[in-house]
Chain A
């Protein structure tokens, strides 16, 4: 029983990866907005970089999710 409990606690702890992902995604969009308001004419050209940054950043949080799944279902 203790192993099952430890698995669930570990999976819950792995969800803390989302703290970093949240900060990162907020930083990506916040910095973009700050830059876009300073120089609106250059903003449109950076939208692909914005989405790339968002996707790369979001993925790091999801690695934590994978760890949680491995803990719960993997072994």
Chain B
């Protein structure tokens, strides 16, 4: 396997238009391009979907309504109830952005923005900041009771409170690494399977005929990746809901 064809080569960032402002590198890279394309695709789909605004929805409007309903009613409404209404735009935006970056990344020779931990970490950190702001805004210092589980005996508190604090602080890491690692692993696996096909096809004889087997496996893995791309976008949105719900309602009543 030549160096240029390593399964990791697809994650490299190439600067297309080098820009530097005040010592910071803000170049327009392939990552920026695919992020921009995700925003354009998402906005275009949602705008086109509601343009005709028919009582009987057309194809695009059905897709948009399905996505909207899935997040609005089944995710935000289900987890947070009425308190979730004001957070819905944020969560829906996150969902659409991650959904489109994941799916655009499945196109061969494209770039998966969400496979980079720094991108997902920035999103997870904004969620974490929102949880803190909402928590302290609604409950003040009473927000710290989040770390004290109700119903646990007093003698176990010295153990359980540090555990709760650590688990709270590790949320942005687990939230971001979950998404990035899924994308990274999936795309590496796709590339490795694609490598099998090429190597077997080039081997000649019976092996060339048998290369249909890794091809079928590659198709199936691609199908799995489509599922994972959708699920991970939804899981990110759902966990955001769960974290925000805890900040709004604390432990005791939900």
Contact = CB atoms under 8 A, between A and B. Distances in A.
Whether chain B is bound by chain A comes out as yes
Nearest to B242: A52
Contacts of B238: 52
Given A48-B74, A52-B238, A62 B231 contact: no
A66 B181 contact: yes
Interface string B220-254: 00000000100110110010000000000000000
Contacts of B8: 73
Contacts of B185: 62, 65
Contacts of A62: 177-178, 181-182, 184-185
Contacts of B228: 55, 58
Interface of B: 8, 74, 117, 174, 177-178, 180-182, 184-185, 228, 231-232, 234-235, 238
Contacts of A66: 117, 177, 180-181, 184
Nearest to B227: A51
Assign chain A's interface to a size class.
Answer: 10 to 19
A55 B224 CA distance: 12
A61 B174 CA distance: 12
Interface of A: 48, 51-52, 54-56, 58-59, 62-63, 65-66, 69, 73
Contacts of A54: 231
Contacts of A56: 178, 235
Contacts of A58: 182, 228
A63 B181 contact: yes
Given A48-B74, A52-B238, A59 B231 contact: no
Contact of A59 (B117, B178, B234): B178
Contacts of A65: 181, 184-185
A48 B234 CA distance: 10
A59 B74 contact: no
Given A51-B231, A55-B182, A66-B181, 8 more contacts: A51-B234, A52-B238, A55-B232, A58-B182, A58-B228, A59-B174, A63-B177, A65-B181
Contacts of A63: 177, 181
Contact of A55 (B74, B117, B174, B235): B235
B182 A59 contact: yes
24 contacts: A48-B74, A51-B231, A51-B234, A52-B235, A52-B238, A54-B231, A55-B178, A55-B182, A58-B182, A58-B228, A59-B174, A59-B177, A59-B178, A59-B181, A62-B177, A62-B178, A62-B185, A63-B177, A63-B181, A65-B181, A65-B185, A66-B180, A66-B181, A69-B184
Nearest to B78: A48
A66 B74 CA distance: 31
Contacts of A59: 174, 177-178, 181-182
B31 to A, nearest CB: 18
Nearest to B175: A59
